[in-house]
Structure 1
Amino acid sequence: MPDYSVQRRLAADILGVGESRIWISPDPEHEEEISQAITRRDVEKLIAKGLIKVKPAKGNSHTRWLERRRARREGKRRGHGKRKGTAGARIEEREVWIGRIRKIRRMLKWLRDHNAIDKRTYRKLYTMAKGGAFKTASEVKQYLKQLGLLKGVS
């Protein structure tokens, strides 16, 4: 098979695709005609004749991606060998904060609604939590027990 690298390059430029996506007719009858096409106009004529075409783009299998995603949700493919980056890079600091503060606020709300703490204490603890005074909900409980602010609920 003759070397059509010039024609391939010109066709790729004209059609706006990569050289690997250019199909050139392997028919020996047109071999001479294709070989002599060295200008853009010549190549455009070959494209119009159908001797040069664009191959369809190849995509990635979405099914395999879905399978891997499902496996990750089940905890597979998450081992040390798959990890690139620090723990902070894998889970954003903000996401960690949101998870922590929601749990603390949920507990404070429960304590207030069940009359374990009064509204003033609730508001004080709420602002303390917002300021980052507590890392976990158990720290809040410990703080309440130390100051004796809990009313009969453990």
Structure 2
Amino acid sequence: MVINLRTKKRLASRVTGAGIHRIYFDPTHLDDIADAITRNDIRSLITANTIKIKPVSGTSRGRAQHKRRQKAKRGSKAGSKQGRMGARVGKKQVYVKKVRALRYLLAVFKDRKDITNPEFWALYKKVGGNTVRNKAHLHLLVDEIKAKRS
């Protein structure tokens, strides 16, 4: 005789907080499970290991990692790259990275009292307007400001 235990499975799921598909009934004790009516009955069966909760099975990353390793091997060396540099890293990304680095450096100069607040903002606007080429250029501009002061 086949016993329908779907409601028991749902009840066990509610009691444990696990999904229905993670609930496992021990096939040797199906009669005990069929007799369980209340949530307390279900809890006692869980402690007796008649009802078990399967572990969460996540998505396996093995294939994805293998694919990434294979892709890394192909066409990443200097002779294999095609297209201009802007095709690999966009102009905007390059600009944003540069501006962030320069603004950080400006903040360092200001904290060290190398430049005053008005000088900081003058240089800040130059950085934002892409007038400052790189860190070395910013250092040069700060040195010029210091030279003018003294």
So what's the TM-score if we normalise by structure 1? 0.49
Match of 1:111 among 96, 109, 112: 109
The answer to whether the 8 Å contact 1:134/1:140 transfers is yes
SS of 1:148 mapped into structure 2:
helix
Amino acid at match of 2:126: M
Root-mean-square deviation (CA, aligned residues, Å) is 2.7
2-structure distance, mates of 1:102, 1:77:
31
Match of 1:62 among 61, 64, 70: 64
2-structure distance, mates of 1:66, 1:143:
44
Match of 1:89 among 79, 83, 87: 87
Counting aligned pairs with the same residue, the percent is: 17
2-structure distance, mates of 1:149, 1:102:
26
Unaligned runs of 5+ in 2: 1-62
> How is 1:65-84 mapped onto 2 (pairs within 5 angstroms)?
65-68=67-70, 71=72, 77-84=75-82
CA deviation map 1:64-96 (0-9, x unaligned): 312235x47xxx852133312111111100111
The answer to whether the 8 Å contact 2:110/2:117 transfers is yes
**2:125 corresponds to 1:124:** no
SS of 2:107 mapped into structure 1:
helix
CA deviation map 1:10-61 (0-9, x unaligned): xxxxxxxxxxxxxxxxxxxxxxxxxxxxxxxxxxxxxxxxxxxxxxxxxxx5
> How is 1:24-63 mapped onto 2 (pairs within 5 angstroms)?
61-63=63-65
> How is 1:135-146 mapped onto 2 (pairs within 5 angstroms)?
135-146=133-144
Residue 150 of structure 1 and its aligned partner are, at CA, apart by 8.7
| 2:100 aligned partner | 102
Select the structure that is richer in helix: 2
CA deviation map 1:84-122 (0-9, x unaligned): 211111110011101111110000001111111111100
Which 4+ stretches in 1 moved above 3 angstroms? none
Match of 2:132 among 134, 138, 151: 134
Go from structure 1 to structure 2 and tell me whether the alpha carbon gap of 1:78 and 1:110 turns closer, same or farther (over 3 Å shift). Answer: same
Amino acid at match of 2:98: R
SS of 2:113 mapped into structure 1:
coil
2-structure distance, mates of 1:68, 1:128:
44
Equivalent pairs counted in the alignment come to: 88
Unaligned runs of 5+ in 1: 1-60
The answer to whether the 8 Å contact 2:99/2:127 transfers is yes
1-structure distance, mates of 2:148, 2:94:
27
2-structure distance, mates of 1:144, 1:92:
29
